[in-house]
């Protein structure tokens, strides 16, 4: 007899996007020479951000705004700010202040692609979620960066404090107004305010092509992850263990937040998944500006080569179970 948990594991592991991710990793490990042009990957990234934002805006138009939206969004933002406060001290003893702050920002921020994998799993299971979680995804990008930079400045050595630093205004601008956030939030607002009749003209592009292009994007991520697979292991077993333990710990925090906010199962599952995810796009760009001394060869592969594969294969069914425990059965 196949249980719901078995069904979730199977539908996740055997879904085409995840299988294409494994294909990319295998191709990289075997040094097959398979490559996807950088320009095409950039276009895929822009398309996926636009599609998820626009569809989220339409869903938000259907559900409306109110306390049932504002409270979960505020809880999501709070979780993004809280996570660095315990990830930083947990990793500082091993990685040092700058790199630990970058790791804290990485795991306090979110992975939009992991969010896409979670929404795809919900859609395959026939479960609708609230569009406001797209807004929460965009808003969770920035608080972790700001908190982590403040922690790094507070705990840095006196000699480090004397080094020239970018202004807080510049850091805030890059954290709050990076291209991913602007496109995601902008598409959400356009979807929310657009007229119903105009949706039909755009939905074929945002719906029909979405799944296939997501497969291409995850194939490319698999190639990148496979090429960087050895890097976290060079940093030692503590870093490797952290790439799995930290997401699980954050998932529990996300489940508690979902319970306190009174979220439905679907939205709670997305919050748990977002809390457990790690950024490998927005945060590296912000850290390059704010903490250039942080070891990028540690925190980027840690998130991309270890945490992301763990989340989209083993993690999502675990987070599904946590969301059921916190918010009720699917």
CATH at residue 78: 1.20.1530.20
Output the pLDDT for position 265. Answer: 93
Q: Does residue 258 lie within any of the structural domains?
A: yes
31 occurs within a structural domain: no
What pLDDT, in 10s, does the model give residues 189-247?
Answer: 887 787 666 666 777 776 677 778 878 877 887 887 788 777 777 777 888 899 999 99
In a domain, 275, yes or no: yes
Q: Which domain holds residue 266?
A: 4-21+36-327
- Rounded to whole angstroms, the Cα distance separating 184 from 165 reads 29
Confidence of residue 3 (pLDDT cuts 50, 70, 90): very low
What are the structure tokens assigned to 157, written together?
């050595």
For 19-30, how does the pLDDT look when each residue is reduced to its tens digit (9 = 90+)?
888 898 889 888
Confidence label for 137 from pLDDT (cuts 50, 70 and 90): confident
Task: Report which secondary-structure segment, H or E, holds 286.
Answer: helix 282-290
Question: Is there a domain that residue 12 lies in?
Answer: yes
Q: Is residue 26 domain-resident?
A: no
For residues 72 and 60, what is the distance between their CA atoms, to the nearest angstrom?
A: 13
For residue 200, count CB atoms less than 10 angstroms from its CB and return exposed for 0-12, middle for 13-18, buried for 19 or more: exposed
The angle, 0 to 180 degrees and rounded to 10, between the axes of the packed helices 97-108 and 237-260 is: 40
Count: domains in the chain: 1
Residue 303 lies inside a defined structural domain of this protein: yes
Token pair for residue 19? 């299988």
Check if the beta carbon of residue 65 is closer than 8 Å to that of residue 240: no
How far apart (Å, rounded) are the C-alpha atoms in residues 298 and 151?
Answer: 19
Give the pair of three-digit tokens for residue 100: 């630990």
CA torsion 307→312→318→320, rounded to 10°?
130
* Residue with token string 């507070």: 154
Q: What is the mean pLDDT of residues 250-274?
A: 94
Segment 143-162 shows an average pLDDT of: 74
Of 31-45, 56-70, 174-188, 211-225, the poorest mean pLDDT is in 174-188
Block residue for tokens 């510049």: 170
Percent of the chain with pLDDT over 70: 82
Residue 28, in any domain of the structure: no
Q: Are 28 and 179 in contact (CB under 8 A)?
A: no
> What torsion, rounded to 10 degrees, do the Cα atoms 247, 22, 26, 235 define?
0
Contact present, 57 and 199 (Cβ < 8 Å): no
pLDDT score for 166: 57
Q: Inform me whether the pLDDT recorded for 12 exceeds 70.
A: no
> What is the C-alpha to C-alpha distance for residues 307 and 178, in angstroms, rounded to an integer?
23
Q: Is the pLDDT of residue 187 over 90?
A: no
Whether the CB-CB separation of 80 and 110 falls below 8 Å is answered with yes
84-128 residue pLDDT tens: 999 999 998 888 888 999 999 999 988 888 888 898 888 888 888
Higher model confidence: residue 90 or residue 177?
A: 90
Taking CB atoms within 8 Å and a gap of at least 24, the contacts of 87-91 are 87/246, 87/250, 88/148, 88/151, 88/155, 90/242, 90/246, 91/242
Least confident among 152-166, 241-255, 307-321: 152-166
Residue 48: inside a domain, yes or no?
yes
Structure tokens at 34: 């398979």
The CA-based angle 16-268-129, given to 5 degrees, is 60
């Amino acid at each position: 007899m196949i249980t719901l948990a078995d069904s979730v594991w199977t539908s996740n592991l055997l879904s085409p996007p995840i299988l294409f991710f494994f294909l990319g990793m295998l191709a990289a490990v075997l040094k097959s020479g398979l490559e996807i042009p950088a320009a095409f990957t950039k276009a895929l990234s822009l398309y996926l951000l636009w599609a998820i934002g626009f569809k989220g805006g339409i869903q938000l138009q259907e559900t409306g705004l109110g306390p049932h939206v504002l409270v979960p969004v505020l809880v999501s933002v709070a979780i993004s700010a809280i996570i660095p406060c315990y990830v930083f001290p947990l990793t500082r003893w091993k990685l040092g202040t700058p790199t630990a702050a970058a790791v804290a920002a990485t795991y306090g921020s979110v992975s939009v692609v992991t969010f896409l994998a979670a929404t795809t799993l919900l859609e395959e299971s026939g479960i609708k979620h609230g569009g406001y979680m797209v807004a929460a995804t965009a808003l969770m990008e920035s608080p972790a960066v700001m908190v982590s930079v403040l922690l790094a400045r507070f705990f840095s050595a006196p000699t480090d404090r004397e080094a020239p630093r970018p202004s807080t205004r510049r850091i805030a601008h890059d954290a709050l107004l990076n291209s991913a956030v602007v496109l995601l939030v902008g598409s959400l607002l356009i979807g929310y305010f657009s007229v119903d009749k105009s949706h039909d003209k755009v939905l074929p592009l945002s719906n029909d092509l979405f799944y296939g292009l997501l497969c291409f994007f995850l194939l490319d991520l698999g190639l990148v992850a496979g090429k960087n697979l050895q890097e976290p292991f060079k940093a030692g077993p503590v870093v490797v263990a952290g790439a799995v333990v930290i997401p699980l710990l954050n998932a529990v925090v996300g489940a508690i937040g979902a319970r306190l906010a009174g979220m439905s199962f679907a939205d709670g599952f997305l919050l748990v998944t977002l809390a457990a995810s790690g950024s490998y796009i927005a945060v590296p760009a912000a850290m390059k500006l704010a903490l250039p001394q942080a070891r990028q060869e540690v925190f980027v592969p840690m998130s991309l080569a270890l945490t992301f594969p763990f989340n989209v294969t083993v993690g999502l069914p675990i987070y599904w179970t946590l969301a059921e425990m916190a918010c009720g059965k699917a």
